[in-house]
Amino acid sequence: MAASRALKHINISPTRIPYSTGAALQDVLVKNYLDSKRIPDIVPRPVPTLLTMEFSPVYTFGRRQNDAESMQKIEQLKSMVPEAATAVTMRGGQTTFHGPGQLVAYPIIDLREFNLSSKCYVRMLEDTTIELLETFGLRAKTTENTGVWLSDAEKIASIGVHLRRYITSHGVAINATTDLSYFDQIVACGLPESRATSIKQAAPDEWERQMAAVKNPIHELGNRFADILRQKLDHQR
């Protein structure tokens, strides 16, 4: 494998950013990939890239949530949680929350370069998240519902992706020290019986042991996630 094709990691934290800023950066990277397919003689093929970020509070909605009921819910959230932004996205899935203390990881890659189907790609994101959580002594799993879970009712990471001409966008959100009360305002991912949890809540002693001396834990988590994902992608080539 040529070194120039190795996964590039852009870790935006420790600067907390608005969701709109992260989405705009993602859109530029996706457009570069699509342009390289449309006019390959002019636009070179981009390097596979992982964005890791920490957002200011925001509720995001899946691409199919553009009906009147969803629009009403957005207006309700604006009044109930005025400090949180709202955004309708192109990812799959339903309503979720992003905010401080949460690692957001968006890989922008061409699935064909790595011989991945969409199903295998989502499983790779799940497995990467599970391996990251194992470093804190947590035994996470997948269920029939999308995401990563500590039990059938405790969800610790959300997954929602979008594909266009095999180019990926959006990805994973992992609760580290997230204020979980933000999830009380929504039926996260359309599952009323589930509840959100976090690494710090599920493994407080191990979190403190590993992160007490770390200046920015979300930045550190982003680096760890990138290392695991890079190994998995390299294995696929």
152-203 confidence digits (pLDDT tens): 999 999 999 999 999 999 999 999 999 999 998 887 666 778 899 999 999 9
CATH code of the domain containing 154: 3.30.930.10
pLDDT given at position 2: 44
Across the chain, what does the average pLDDT equal? Answer: 91
Q: Which entry of 138, 189, 202, 229 is annotated as an active-site residue? A: 189
β-strand partners of 175: 102
Pairing of strands 148-149, 195-196: unpaired
Render pLDDT for 134-150 as a digit per residue (tens, 0 to 9): 999 999 999 998 899 99
Measured CA to CA, the distance from residue 122 to residue 18 in angstroms comes to 25
Residue ranges making up the domain that contains 201: 3-236
pLDDT at residue 3 tops 50: no
- Name beta bridge partners: 49: 8, 108
pTM of the predicted structure, to 2 decimals: 0.93
Domain tally, the chain: 1
Label each residue of the chain as H, E or C.
Answer: CCHHHCCEEEECCCCCECHHHHHHHHHHHHHHHHHHHHCCCCCCCCCCEEEEECECCEEEECCCCCCHHHHHHHHHHHHHCCCCEEEECCCCCCCEEECCCEEEEEEECEHHHHCCCHHHHHHHHHHHHHHHHHCCCCCCECCCCCCEECCCCEEEEEEEEEEECCEEEEEEEEECCCCHHHHHHCCHHHCCCCEECCHHHHCHHHHHHHHCCCCCHHHHHHHHHHHHHHHHHHHHC
Is position 189 annotated as part of the catalytic site? yes
pLDDT in tens, 78-135: 888 989 998 888 787 778 899 999 999 999 999 999 999 999 999 999 999 999 999 9
